[in-house]
């Protein structure tokens, strides 16, 4: 009897969490005719740009949730979009190339052709906007470019498909995760390997740094998020809650919460102080490909293979 009562209470609490989260859906952005691969949000949090397998880039007004402009002449799936630190330019990655756009005019400034030999999996600016890093899978390389000239700065001796790569704040290091189930830290100037972290049992799809840059968070197809201490190289803990592979993670601006999503179509919000689930809820009809917090921890955006972008108000505790 006692056991049944505990099960009932657990189900009741879970249903309460799910209901509150689902009740917080603010808007669903419709317009793409194919799966959405990536999106980014402007610095003023008024605009969102999204890239899709439908070979288009769309600009969304986040004040009225309307699609104000569509750019459709890419010819290939748009794999990645990313703003620079000033918010006046953004990068678009497709097949073999990446392009830089002026955000105010929504005009292409320049294009780097034959950056890789197949689709780019990542294309992003360094925090100081001095460099651009790109990754691919078939040619198995990470390339660092001088942003001013688009000339190659360095290239890593990577030998596996890299799904994501990020810079540290000083822009002198890049951290990558890929299909060898590992996280690696590289030197921007030389492309040399500095440190690597092993522990996942499947592909590492996404990574991010803690706000103080002492820890790496990594999301994997092994259904877990791992937290790594950069200085010691040791694994701190493993976060478990997803029932299928994790594709995307994001840290909120104050570093208190981490969002994760992926193949199980659910979003989990992790309280990093207690390393527990703050919220968990079904969010999309198909795999979630990208997720990002807005200007605070209570605004969240998610994009999916179901061709939609959703906007959520989470009502999380302020801690």
Statement: residue 307 has pLDDT above 70: yes
Residue 156 has pLDDT above 80, yes or no: yes
% of the chain at pLDDT higher than 90:
84
Spelled out in words, what is the top-level CATH class assigned to the domain 32-172?
Answer: mainly beta
Q: For residue 144, what are its two tokens?
A: 């660092």
pLDDT bucket at 139, cuts 50 / 70 / 90: confident
At residue 274, does pLDDT exceed 70?
Answer: yes
The alpha carbon of 278 is separated from its chain's Cα centroid by a whole number of angstroms, namely 20
CA angle 35, 301, 312 (to 5 degrees): 120
Residues 261 and 267: beta-carbon distance below 8 Å:
yes
Q: Residue 1 pLDDT more than 50?
A: no
Task: Please compute the mean of the pLDDT values over residues 48-69 and round it to a whole number.
Answer: 97
Which residues have a Cβ under 8 Å from the Cβ of 232 and sit 6 or more positions away? none
Give the other-Cβ count within 10 Å of 238's Cβ: 14
pLDDT of residue 319: 59
Q: Which residue is listed with tokens 């959405």?
A: 36
Give me the pLDDT at residue 14, please: 44
Closest residue by Cα to residue 261 from 270, 272, 273 = 270
The CA distance from 226 to 206, in Å, is 11
The pLDDT value recorded for residue 22 is: 52
Summarize the confidence of residues 236-251 as an average pLDDT: 98
Domain boundaries, the chain: 1-30+199-319, 32-172
Do 28 and 292 contact (CB within 8 A), yes or no? no
What top-level class would CATH report for the domain 1-30+199-319?
mainly beta
Q: What is the tens place of the pLDDT at every residue in 3-56?
A: 444 433 343 344 444 445 455 899 999 999 999 999 999 999 999 999 999 999
What pTM did the predictor assign? 0.91
Percent of the chain residues past pLDDT 70, beyond the cut: 92
Q: How would residue 2 be classed by pLDDT, with cut points 50, 70 and 90?
A: very low
Give the C-alpha separation, 228 to 198, whole Å: 10
pLDDT digits (tens, 9 = 90+) for 93-123: 999 999 999 999 999 999 999 999 999 999 9
CA-based nearest residue to 177, from 138, 157, 205, 150: 205
pLDDT mean across residues, the chain: 91
Rounded average pLDDT over 298-319? 92
Is 1-30+199-319's fold the same as 32-172's?
yes
């Amino acid at each position: 009897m006692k056991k049944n009562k505990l099960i009932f209470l657990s189900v009741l609490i879970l249903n309460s969490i799910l209901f509150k989260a689902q009740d917080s859906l603010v808007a669903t952005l419709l317009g793409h005719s194919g799966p959405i691969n990536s999106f980014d949000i402007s610095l003023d949090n008024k605009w969102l740009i999204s890239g899709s397998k439908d070979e288009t880039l769309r600009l969304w007004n986040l004040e009225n949730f309307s699609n104000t402009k569509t750019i459709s002449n890419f010819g290939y799936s748009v794999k990645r979009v990313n703003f620079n630190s000033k918010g006046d330019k953004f990068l678009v990655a497709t097949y073999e190339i990446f392009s830089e756009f002026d955000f105010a005019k929504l005009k292409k400034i320049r294009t780097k052709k034959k950056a890789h030999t197949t689709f780019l999996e990542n294309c992003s600016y360094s925090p100081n906007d001095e460099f651009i890093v790109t990754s691919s899978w078939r040619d198995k390389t990470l390339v660092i470019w001088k942003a001013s000239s688009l000339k190659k700065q360095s290239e890593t001796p990577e030998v596996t498909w890299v799904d994501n790569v990020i810079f540290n704040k000083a822009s002198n290091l890049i951290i990558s995760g890929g299909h060898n189930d590992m996280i690696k830290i590289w030197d921007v100037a030389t492309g040399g390997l500095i440190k690597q972290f092993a522990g996942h049992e499947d592909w590492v799809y996404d990574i991010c740094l803690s706000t103080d840059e002492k820890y790496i968070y990594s999301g994997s197809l092994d259904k877990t998020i791992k937290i790594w201490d950069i200085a010691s190289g040791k694994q701190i803990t493993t976060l478990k809650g997803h029932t299928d592979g994790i594709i995307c993670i994001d840290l909120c601006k104050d570093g208190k919460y981490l969002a994760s999503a992926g193949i199980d179509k659910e979003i989990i919000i992790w309280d990093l102080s207690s390393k527990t689930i703050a919220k968990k809820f079904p969010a999309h009809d198909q795999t979630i490909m990208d997720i990002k917090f807005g200007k605070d921890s209570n605004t969240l955006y998610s994009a999916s293979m179901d061709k939609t972008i959703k906007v959520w108000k989470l009502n999380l505790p302020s801690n």
